[in-house]
Amino acid sequence: MKKIHKRSKFQSTKINPKRFHPSQVRYLLFLFPLALFMLLPLVYIFNHAFKPLEELFYYPPRFFVNNPTLENFRRLFELTGVSGIPMSRYLFNSIVVTVLVLFFSVLIATLAGYALSKLAFKGKKIMNEINTLALMFVGVAVMIPRYLVVEQLGLIDNFFVHVLPYLAIPVGLFLVKQFIDQIPNELIDASRVDGANEWQIYVKIIIPLIKPAIATIVILSFQAVWNSADTSQTYINQDSLKTFAFYMGTLTNNTNGVAGQGMGAAASLIMFVPNLVIFILMQSKVMDTMAHSGIK
Question: Per the omega criterion (within 30 degrees of 0), is the bond before 60 cis?
Answer: yes
pLDDT, one tens digit per residue, over 212-271 is: 888 888 888 888 888 888 888 888 888 888 888 888 777 656 555 566 777 778 888 888
Angle at 88 between CA 85 and CA 92, to 5 degrees: 110
Q: What pLDDT shows up at residue 16?
A: 53
* Residue 290 pLDDT: 41
Report the sign of the C-alpha dihedral through residues 260, 262, 265, 267, in that order: negative
Task: Name the pTM for this structure.
Answer: 0.76
Q: What is the pLDDT of residue 3?
A: 46
pLDDT at 11: 43
Q: Which residue has the higher pLDDT, 61 or 81?
A: 61
Q: Whole-angstrom Cα distance, residue 177 to residue 109?
A: 9
Domains of the chain, first to last: 80-292 (1.10.3720.10)
Q: Which residues contact 223 (CB under 8 A, 6 or more apart)?
A: 275
CA distances for 17 relative to 32, 50, 215, angstroms: 18, 40, 25
125 or 286, which is more confident: 125
Burial of 199 (0-12, 13-18, 19+ CB in 10 A): exposed
pLDDT of residue 256: 55
